[in-house]
Amino acid sequence: MFEFFAPKVQAEFENFYKKIKNQNENRNKEALSFLQKFQAKSIDVVILKGNLLLNTIYNDVGYKKMNDFDMLIHSKDWKAVQTIYEELKYIPLGFGWAGEKQEPAKFSHTGMSFISPNYHCITGTQWGLKSLTSSYKVDLENVWADASFFDYYGTKNQTTIARIQHFASDFAHGNLQNRHSRLHGYFQYFSGTRCKRR
């Protein structure tokens, strides 16, 4: 279908694709700096949403524009994760719910975001998958138990999220514009993950 567009339009698509690919490659490269430290400190992490699908379903770094790097951790590890961000000179975006050195907020499922000094990666660190005020509840123990290992650019202990819970959470958080594009990837994912099992 692409060939039916005028050459000028094709060039605009190609330039936008290259821009997104470059942004995503830079984000992935930067994410390794904290993922490797998580692994060294035995901090469990589940890579969520687009960054998971990018490497298990899309198989094309420039396929989809993304804004941050979403991860699920255990709430007990949040302070250690913040320390790692600080060691890497990451910049806190705000003061979180209870100050920069915050404890996991009991009324929130997510911590404040940090951005890398080169602005390539914004972290989305969370210890839950859905707002605590939502009527939809997620069994996190089951999510962690159902997670499976895959190789994310050489980091061996990063895990994929349990399929049904991940889909329900991500779909509920998404807007109407991107839900349809996510459905295609998720239906493929449910039919058989392509991640490298270990």
pLDDT reported for residue 66: 86
Share of residues in the chain with pLDDT > 70 (%):
73
Q: Is the pLDDT of residue 69 over 60?
A: yes
CB contact set of 150 (below 8 Å; sequence gap of 6+): 55, 56, 158, 159, 160, 195, 196, 197, 198
Cα 34 to Cα 180: distance, rounded to the nearest angstrom: 31
- Are the C-beta atoms of residues 72 and 127 closer than 8 Å to each other? yes
Q: Is the pLDDT of residue 102 over 90?
A: no
pLDDT reported for residue 64: 85
pLDDT reported for residue 190: 42
Pairing of β 123-126 and β 91-92? unpaired
> Which of 33-37, 44-48, 89-93 has the lowest average pLDDT?
44-48
pLDDT digits (tens, 9 = 90+) for 112-168: 899 999 999 999 999 988 777 777 777 788 778 777 777 777 775 445 444 444 444
Q: Is the pLDDT of residue 191 over 70?
A: no
Cα 111 to Cα 105: distance, rounded to the nearest angstrom: 8
What Cα–Cα distance (Å) separates residue 89 from each residue in 86, 95, 116? Answer: 5, 16, 7
Cα 28 to Cα 46: distance, rounded to the nearest angstrom: 15
pTM for this predicted structure: 0.74
- Are the C-beta atoms of residues 110 and 129 closer than 8 Å to each other? no
pLDDT reported for residue 2: 79
Taking the CA atoms of the chain, what radius of gyration do you get in angstroms?
17
Range 13-190: architecture per CATH: 2-Layer Sandwich (3.30)
Mean pLDDT on 61-85: 91
Mean pLDDT, all residues of the chain: 76
More confident residue, 172 or 8: 8
Q: Is the pLDDT of residue 34 over 90?
A: yes
Cα 46 to Cα 152: distance, rounded to the nearest angstrom: 11
Cα 48 to Cα 176: distance, rounded to the nearest angstrom: 19
